[in-house]
Structure 1
């Protein structure tokens, strides 16, 4: 099973938003939204939107919104 984890991360590495889903299409849409919601200044400052795949819910950050 693949779980897609979307994270918005500040320059210090702190996760400010996290959504996890088993639906790849939903995850890609969320990633696009996370990316688009970062301002140019945030991007210049080092903020990133990251999409990664994990194999277990145990690997998903505890503060994530989990969509099944």
Structure 2
């Protein structure tokens, strides 16, 4: 099983928002939304959006919104 994890991280690398799902299209839509919701000021300060895949729900951060 492939689980897509989208994360929005602040400049210190702290996880701010995380959504995980099994649907690739839904994950791409989520990433696009995360990117669009970052202000130019946040981007300049070093905020990033990261997408990664994992193979188990155990590898998803506990604070994540999990969409199945």
Same fold, TM exceeding 0.5? yes
Is 1:34 paired with 2:67?
A: no
Residue 62 (structure 1) aligns with: 62
When the two chains are superposed, the root-mean-square deviation of aligned CA atoms in Å is: 0.5
Is 1:15 paired with 2:46?
A: no
CA distance in 2, matches of 1:4, 1:64: 11
Query: Deviations 1:2-33 (Å, cap 9, x if unpaired)?
Result: 00001010011111100000000000000000
CA distance in 2, matches of 1:22, 1:67: 7
Residue 45 (structure 2) aligns with: 45
Alignment gaps of 5+ in structure 1: none
TM-score by length of 2: 0.97
CA distance in 1, matches of 2:63, 2:10: 16
Moved over 4 A (4+): none
